[in-house]
Amino acid sequence: MTTVTIGIIDPFHQKSIETIEAAIPAEWRLSIAKGQNIDEKARALGEADIVFVMAAPMPASLIDAAPRLRFIQKLGAGIDRIDLDQCAARGIGLARLQAGNSIPVAEHTLLLMLAACRRLPLLDRQTRAGGWDKEAARGVSRQINGKTVGIVGFGAIGQAVAKLLTGFGANILYYDPRRAGSELERELQVTYVSLDELTAQSDIVSLHLPLMKETAKVFDAGRLAAMKPGSILINCARGGLVDETALHDALVGGHIFSAGIDAFEQEPPVGSPLLLLDQTIVTPHTAGGTIDNFKPVVERAVRNTQLFLSGEDILAQDLVLAPRRSAA
């Protein structure tokens, strides 16, 4: 059988590489970038027929470094870091894994909510340093129970977050350009409101929108100012959804109590003033990154690739760009 080369440019953990190796057919091989500079990535893609990519950007220059590339499989849902115009110009197919990481992202979202309510990293640092001021902690700590949580974006991840929250005794609002059906709203005990209503009423706002022209900096200075005084912002989606300078100012000024941030506009966020604040809980865009979930993600990616190679249709929910196939 013809050998298929899969290009890997993300800095995956060795266990993740082993998971990929166990999932691919015997006649496939991996070409793995030995470093994270552009030259090493280009070298890894030089003979790649397929690319499996998680979070690494794929600009036009990197796509052009892969002359044999025919198909890109995103190991997640977001495609804003892939040059779609260049893929289309080259006739390269592109698929994502819609809802593939929804459970770990939802769990991480809840983790950041709880940590932000209790300012957990700050308490951890103070306790390790010998501090034991329980009453000071009581004076600022909050609970989710009885609070209003607003979910912005109600796709698979937003719905998974709502499902987890049902056990916390929270009032759950949601906004999405497309309203969910009444049956799902009843099942998840959620209420549909406008984005302005959600912003004004929520004690905790959690973002789960894709990054597009229409959503870029949707939480700008004006919208942050419209949030309830003392509220919390959680972003496990894309950094570009939030004006980070305005968020910093809102945190320093005390209008926003705390923020849980898994996604930054620039990654890694070297020099970001948000990293210096006690009110922020930050993680390295790892909300979807659990070894438990990686195996089914990879298996689904392999299945989509097999469908592509055999000329069969990929599920419509996953297909982003149909490949250009030869007349033969």
Which positions are annotated as active-site residues? Answer: 238, 267, 285
Task: Determine the Cα–Cα distance for residues 54 and 65; give it in Å rounded to an integer.
Answer: 18
Separation between Cα atoms, residue 83 and residue 74, nearest integer Å: 12
Q: Which of 202, 129, 191 is nearest to 162 (CA)?
A: 191
Distance CA 174, CA 204 (A): 11
Inter-residue contact 70 to 92 (CB < 8 Å): yes
Instruction: Say how far apart CA 65 and CA 234 lie, in whole Å.
Output: 37
Please answer whether residues 288 and 109 qualify as being in contact, where contact means their C-beta atoms are separated by less than 8 angstroms: no
Q: Tokens 């060795």 label which residue?
A: 14
The Cβ-side half-sphere exposure at 44, using a 13 Å CA radius, reads 25
For 82, residues 6+ apart whose C-beta sits below 8 A from its C-beta are 53, 57, 58, 72, 74, 94
